[in-house]
Amino acid sequence: MRLEATTIDIGTSRPLVLLNTVDADELGAHPLDRVRIAWDGATTTGIVKRTDELVEAGTVGVTEPLDHVHGDVEVTLAGTPPSVRCVRKKLDDVELERKELERIVRDIHENRLSDVELSAFVSAVYANGLSLAETKNLTEAMSGVGQRLQWDASIVADKHSIGGVAGNCVTPIMVAIVAEAGVTMPKSSSRAVTSPAGTADVMEVVSDVEFSIEEIERIVDETNGCLVWGGGVDLSPVDDEIIRAENPLSIDPEGLLMASVLSKKRSAGSSHVVIDIPYGEGAKVESLVAARELADDFKRVGDYLEMDIHCAITHGTDPIGRGVGPVLEARDVLAVLEGDGPESLRLKSLRLAEMLLEHCGVDASATEILESGRALERFRSIVAAQGGDPDVESADLDPGEESTTIRADRAGIASRVDNRQLSDLARRAGAPRDSGAGLVVHRTVGDEVEAGDRLYTIHAETRAKLEEAMSFADQLEPIRVRSKADALVERR
């Protein structure tokens, strides 16, 4: 069928082909079918969206990924990519071969899978898991797509937390310490998947995070480190597509988690990586046994990829900082670097920094670097190199103006703090999309509480979102207060 191609902006990054219903019926094209478009000796494939209004009969609309298509084109039905059969196999809990996983990765990268098919793959992994062999093969396939960073340094340090703990923004503090110690640490991070703030979201509060590879190389050359968004430089780009499918479902299955982390690290040129695996009630990993098993799997996949992986198994039953959400976590980070801030965030940052320095064979004191103010100065130099204000202070960062404080209705002890509920509540308030949204946590496990004491404060950028979060909070108990006797029974 001959049609006239025109670019249509409908706010999507997917390669959609909009057909008027009349043309779609004549072609026999149904929603989510694929069509092949040929023009001037070139061909491409898109996914069908039928419409009565957006394009007229005789015209085919193409979205931004296909905006190179123009003029008089030939549109024909295309077959289903072979990788869809592989997705069906995974839905049936059949282990996939290397070539099948490579096919899925290639088709995700080339936008051949619809959102439904990509979500089916993510759901299949969530339901049925990945074997260790599948995880190795998927990680290698994902890191083989997109750009790669290469460094002159023989040791390139990196760190990642699997998440699941509110306020766990130790990475900016670690990067400042490790870079100041003379170790190259180009940190690329994802945006939040299931949490109220990823490292990239937090860093974006004080500086830019999207850079080209050349710009990242300049920043690292100037400062020995960086804190950037990995999706801005096409490092393991398939990971970003998978994360996009995980987001609406708020899932992060272990096999995809390992492939996501290690494919990004490999693409970033990292040689020595510390991975933080928090465990406990409300964390992503709930038991010490499961945390150890995950650590072993990370190490095995890392060995396969010739990366030196060291896992830190940490307690994840309490928030690390006091702020939950981009601005509030950035404020905690700066406060720690300034010599103040939440003690739990300071101690965990130091522990992991010491571990990474030792892992890299560097004889330096993380505590001395932090307490001397050298880490703060290094952080400020990274902020400046990334286009931010090097003089920014924690006091300069204000959360959303709409706020309310939840108070204890009884005296007792804070017997449990639920990270998952805190994160869900911060997201309901608008985080991470609204950078000023989130929570400030006033009590932690073991704290004595009087009736009327503050438990946590909700911040939002609009009244509507604050009210939505308040309504949601009525259904939750993220900080549980019990009498001393009841709290003792709970601990047993």
* pLDDT tens-digit series, residues 437-463: 999 999 999 999 999 999 999 999 999
Model's pTM, two decimal places? Answer: 0.85
Residue 146 lies in a domain: no
User: Looking at the structure, do residues 227 and 312 belong to the same domain, yes or no?
Assistant: yes
Task: Give the residue numbers marked as catalytic.
Answer: 252
CB atoms within 10 A of CB 342: 20
Q: What angle do CA 332, 334, 338 make, to 5 degrees?
A: 115
The pLDDT assigned to 472 comes to: 96
- Of 342, 311, 348, 329, the residue nearest 174 (C-alpha): 348
- Report CA-CA distances (Å) from 233 to 78, 115, 414: 31, 23, 44
The pLDDT assigned to 393 comes to: 97
Task: Say which CATH number the domain at 208 has.
Answer: 3.40.1030.10
User: Looking at the structure, do residues 176 and 308 belong to the same domain, yes or no?
Assistant: yes
The two most distant CA atoms of the chain are separated, in Å, by 79
> What span, in angstroms and rounded, lies between the C-alpha atoms of 238 and 111?
10
pLDDT tens digit sequence for 323-354: 999 999 999 999 999 999 999 999 999 999 99
Answer positive or negative: Cα dihedral of 243, 245, 249, 252.
negative
Residue 255 lies in a domain: no
Query: What average pLDDT does the segment 280-302 reach?
Result: 91
405-435 burial: b if 16+ Cβ within 10 Å, else e: ebebeeebbbbbbbbbbbbbbbbbbbbbebb
Task: Say which CATH number the domain at 120 has.
Answer: 1.20.970.10
The pLDDT assigned to 488 comes to: 57
**Residues facing 395 on adjacent strands:** none
The pLDDT assigned to 490 comes to: 58
Q: Which domain holds residue 124?
A: 83-129
Confidence of residue 491 (pLDDT cuts 50, 70, 90): low
Q: For a pLDDT cut of 90, what percent of the chain falls above it? A: 78
When comparing pLDDT for 117 and 195, which is higher? 117
Residue 186 lies in a domain: yes
Confidence of residue 429 (pLDDT cuts 50, 70, 90): very high
pLDDT tens digit sequence for 183-241: 999 998 877 767 899 899 999 999 999 999 999 999 999 999 999 987 778 888 898 88
Query: What average pLDDT does the segment 364-380 reach?
Result: 98
